[in-house]
Structure 1
């Protein structure tokens, strides 16, 4: 039985007055919860406001394989919201409203008690650390956590990051998921003198931060991984792209599941790509694809 803990933002993406539940850690948690078995456990640490969006979120989560015991309902803060705009390539841009409930996750006794358990995977991102309250809670989790795999899906948004927070996160983890734009920013901050070569940069990150698995998504081109001193690239298949929102989260959830299930590194990469390609053919980051079909291709 797998035991999984996730941390970070839950928010509503607002498209032209239509609201869709999301946030990278929520999308990741949801996609991973659908891949694991019913007797596996996934707890999600986040915070919601005491409002209508919160009620909608709880109703949604009640129908999923997610333990909501660590979801805080905070008076005085609103449930997170982000206005989403798709550019001509159907790639999303965001306005993420500040000082939301998820910015103010409190380190309370229930989190402390949850950290007495051993976990197979712990997941977090950089965006969830933008506010000091949630950042300090996450640092307490870092100090007290016992997890086999510690996953960071970078999720840079706007200016909601610092070099120090990135460094702390990279030093903590053993699985990193990053996209090509985020890699360019890490190069600018940490490796300005290195050439803009994916393999060179992933090798440098691996050497400096001792991260076992580094997964790089490359948009329509495909994805790559640096593992055991080897750089492996896998091209994507041509599919009908409807919506890329949540594709990276689905990729990260799928690679996490494949690592847990003990697939070899090439099949971990292929499985993650297959899942993300299924999701981009559907509308929204929480859409349900044919999970059994994809898993069966990999003997899962």
Structure 2
């Protein structure tokens, strides 16, 4: 599928998550694109799969979901990505991300650059910068984007202080979780409460918006000079795979609809909680399912 009017372009890893409950498609950019599509947006995906059975299956799934695959690349020598995931007693996941994989070698084609330039949001994560080839492509796209959304996904050992700083310098919107904020605070000696630290990041990197997800404690957004907080939705957590990606998709969806920061945060929190209450990153749902989630 080729949708030239994509309002959001997602860049980075596409792979198979091999989880305790089975093998499912995944990768943060792919997850964000899936949820945007569920919310009736028209995302595009810049990524790379191997010339293998796993890659063909991913292509088939994306086609079935009607996600724009016009920028999907095929690598003739490297395999489609695989991640092995295990859960702790709280349902939080630990990942072994196999390298190298096809998505480490994404090329910045002219068609992809033009698609990024024409979109409202360009979404990427720090994991996609672990190899120099995709990293160089990523910075090319960041330079072309109108509004860059950088999701700080700190997966050992694929990150470093200098790289994260460079990515944030190119971002308009930064999203991270509370553990990642704690690490950045240690790196850069950021002090104070949550608001102080989010404000510091906004000013240091000239960001429009800083988003921090806090698990069971909800989420917060610092936008311009204002702080917005949401206590979260109480659900029975099955696993947290993809819940942060769903949150981001929900937030961008509501902002594309010109909704307020407060309402976008509320909707994003609702969607993230719903996904955490289901197995895997791609549960089937409708907007009505999300609206019926009780606020507690």
TM-score bracket, shorter-length normalisation: over 0.9
> 2:160 maps to which residue?
162
> 1:29 maps to which residue?
33
User: What SS does the corresponding residue of 2:43 show, helix, strand or coil?
Assistant: strand
> 1:132 maps to which residue?
132
The CA deviation string for residues 86-140 of structure 1, in whole angstroms up to 9 with x for no partner, is 000011000000110001112234324434x521111001000000010011112
More displaced stretch, 275-284 vs 122-131:
275-284
- Contact in 2 for aligned 1:11/1:82 (Cα 8 Å): yes
- Contact in 2 for aligned 1:279/1:289 (Cα 8 Å): no
After TM superposition, list the pairs within 5 Å mapping 1:277-292 onto structure 2.
277-292=273-288
Counterparts of 2:16 and 2:207 in 1: how far apart (Å)?
A: 32
> 1:142 maps to which residue?
142
> 2:60 maps to which residue?
59
* Alignment TM-score, normalising by the size of structure 1: 0.91
Counterparts of 1:3 and 1:261 in 2: how far apart (Å)?
A: 11
> 1:186 maps to which residue?
184
The CA deviation string for residues 198-237 of structure 1, in whole angstroms up to 9 with x for no partner, is 1111010011112111111101111111112122221112
> 1:255 maps to which residue?
251
Aligned-pair distance for 1:146?
3.8
More displaced stretch, 17-26 vs 269-278:
17-26
- Contact in 1 for aligned 2:190/2:197 (Cα 8 Å): no
The CA deviation string for residues 155-200 of structure 1, in whole angstroms up to 9 with x for no partner, is 110121122221221111111111001101111222x2524x2111
Aligned-pair distance for 1:295?
6.0
Count residues in correspondence.
289
User: What SS does the corresponding residue of 1:123 show, helix, strand or coil?
Assistant: strand
* Stretches of structure 2 lacking an aligned partner (at least 5 in a row): none
1:199 to 172, 195, 202: 195
Aligned-pair distance for 1:16?
4.3
Q: Would you identify which runs of 4 or more consecutive aligned residues in structure 1 move more than 4 Å?
A: none
- Contact in 2 for aligned 1:245/1:280 (Cα 8 Å): yes
- Contact in 2 for aligned 1:42/1:65 (Cα 8 Å): no
| Alpha-carbon spacing, 1:193–1:123, altered in 2? closer, same or farther (3 Å) | closer
| Alpha-carbon spacing, 1:226–1:109, altered in 2? closer, same or farther (3 Å) | closer
- Contact in 1 for aligned 2:81/2:102 (Cα 8 Å): yes
Counterparts of 1:57 and 1:122 in 2: how far apart (Å)?
A: 22
* Stretches of structure 1 lacking an aligned partner (at least 5 in a row): none
